[in-house]
């Protein structure tokens, strides 16, 4: 499976010098599907590899370098829109990694701008963004109401000129999830950058990445999220991490993520964290489920985790009502 090939290559770039054409083709397809092609290009920098493969990786680097410029510019546009409100604005995920110049940001693809603001100021923030040219994406009243009542973020907004999305969070997991991380503590203990924007402190950054990977969503694109976690665990270490994770109710998830990062990418983790867990194998199977064309295989693993993601998000009665509403609106699962 090409997921395992991608993980092994990121872990040990030197082995790529011996790859034949079919191996390269599987590797590139998997890296593109997992949005890790820019990261792969950085990792393979300086390795003597075939010219055709090198060209593809050079293009990927140029593309993610440009993405970095756009992401930072979008953060700056957001800063300008909110600067007079005197609200702490915390950058999350990819934009935070490049703004703080972390190794997780090297070659990383960045889509939307994600920010975290205090929940009691979210309406003020929303109005200021709309004043500055952002617009709602979801015209559907059910979706809009659902976001506002149950989600950890506003319905996505898109800027009408730059065509870039912003997700405004007030916490890091849906309100319906069983776990309630301490968003106030995250904002209070965040780190201010030179331009006045903030990023989470190292432990909270790891907790957020872990929550995003293991406590929410269906693990689609999970290899990249786990790579982020690998880079942060390697750069920040695990000092104080368990205690902080416990505050957010994420300590078991952090341990699992650390074990998975260790298994896939060889991340250094404390000896007493290296316990055996029978469910890890299932997560590994989902994370690495790519064939030589970048398709998710086997399909049942994908479906299983898709169902799990809904189970994590909603209590059963609510889930039933949600699925019924979506079905009536013509939505069908793939």
Partner 1 sequence: MRHVFAVRIGPVGFRVGSDWRAPVAALEHLYRDYPKPDDDIPDFSVRLFAARFWRRFVRPSVMIGGDYYLPDAAPLPLRLGLLAAEMGMNLQMALAQRRYLLLHASAVERDGRALVMTGMSGAGKSTLAALLMTRGWRLMGDEFALVDPATGLVHGFPRLISLKNQAIGVMEAACPDGRFGPLQPDTPKGDIRHLVPHARAIQAMRDPAKPALILFPGFGHAADERPVLPGEAFVRLTQASTNFVAMGETGFDVLTSLVKNTPARAIDYPDTETALAMVERLWSEIV
- Under the rule (CB under 8 A), what is the footprint of partner 1? 21, 24-25, 28-29, 32-33, 50-53, 55-56, 59, 62-63, 66, 69-70, 293-295
> What letter would DSSP give residue 155?
S
Q: Which residues pair with 114 in a beta bridge?
A: 167
To which residue do tokens 């316990």 refer? Answer: 275
Q: Which is nearer to partner 1, 26 or 314 (CB)?
A: 26
In terms of CB distance, is 55 or 310 closer to partner 1?
A: 55
Nearer to partner 1, 53 or 91 (CB): 53
Closer by beta carbon to partner 1, 20 or else 272: 20
Q: Where are the alpha helices (DSSP H) in the chain?
A: 2-11, 21-33, 37-43, 51-82, 93-99, 122-131, 141-150, 183-188, 202-214, 222-236, 241-247, 251-265, 280-287, 299-313, 316-328
- CB 30, min distance to partner 1, A: 10
Minimum CB separation from partner 1 for residue 97, in Å?
A: 20
Q: Closest approach of Cβ 29 to partner 1, in Å?
A: 5
Structure tokens, 153: 């973020």
DSSP state of 191: E
Could you tell me how many residues make up the chain?
Answer: 334
11 near 27, Cβ under 8 Å? no
The minimum distance between CB 203 and partner 1, in angstroms, equals 35
Are the C-beta atoms of 2 and 27 separated by less than 8 Å? yes
* Distance in Å, CB of 24 to partner 1, minimum: 5
Q: Smallest distance, Å, CB 295 to partner 1?
A: 7
Q: What's the min distance (Å) between Cβ of 50 and partner 1?
A: 5
Q: Rounded to an integer, what distance in angstroms lies between the CA atom of residue 111 and that of residue 114?
A: 9
* Residue nearer to partner 1 on the CB measure, 59 or 184: 59
Nearer to partner 1 by Cβ, of 131 and 161: the residue is 161
> What is the rounded distance in angstroms from the CA atom of residue 151 to the CA atom of residue 15?
44
Closest CB to partner 1 among residues 28, 173: 28
CA distance 278 to 65: 40
């Amino acid at each position: 499976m090409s997921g395992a090939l991608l993980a092994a290559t990121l872990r040990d770039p030197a082995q790529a010098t011996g790859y034949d054409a079919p191996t390269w083709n599987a590797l590139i397809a998997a890296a593109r599907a997992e949005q890790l092609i820019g990261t792969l290009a950085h990792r393979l920098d300086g390795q003597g590899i075939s010219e055709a493969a090198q060209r593809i990786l050079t293009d990927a680097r140029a593309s993610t370098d440009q993405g970095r410029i756009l992401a930072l510019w979008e953060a700056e546009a957001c800063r300008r829109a909110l600067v007079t409100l005197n609200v702490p604005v915390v950058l999350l995920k990819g934009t935070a990694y490049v703004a703080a110049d972390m190794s997780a940001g090297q070659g990383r693809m960045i889509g939307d701008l994600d920010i975290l603001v205090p929940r009691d100021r979210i309406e003020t923030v929303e109005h200021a963004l709309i004043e500055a040219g952002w617009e709602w994406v979801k015209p559907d009243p059910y979706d809009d109401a659902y976001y506002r009542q149950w989600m950890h973020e506003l319905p996505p907004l898109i800027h009408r000129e730059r065509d870039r999305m912003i997700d405004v969070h007030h916490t890091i997991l849906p309100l319906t999830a069983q776990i309630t991380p301490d968003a106030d503590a995250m904002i209070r203990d965040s780190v201010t950058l030179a331009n006045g924007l903030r990023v989470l402190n190292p432990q909270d950054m790891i907790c957020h990445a872990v929550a995003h990977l293991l406590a929410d969503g269906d693990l689609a694109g999970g290899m990249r999220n786990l790579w982020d976690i690998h880079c942060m665990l390697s750069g920040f270490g695990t000092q104080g991490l368990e205690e902080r994770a416990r505050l957010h109710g994420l300590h078991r998830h952090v341990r699992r993520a650390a074990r998975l990062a260790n298994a896939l990418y060889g991340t250094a983790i404390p000896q007493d964290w290296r316990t055996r867990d029978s469910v890890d194998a299932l997560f590994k199977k989902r994370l690495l489920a790519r064939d030589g064309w970048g398709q998710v295989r086997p399909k049942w693993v994908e479906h299983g985790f898709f169902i799990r993601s809904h189970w994590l998000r909603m209590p059963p009665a609510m889930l039933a009502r949600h699925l019924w509403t979506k079905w009536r609106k013509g939505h069908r699962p793939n």
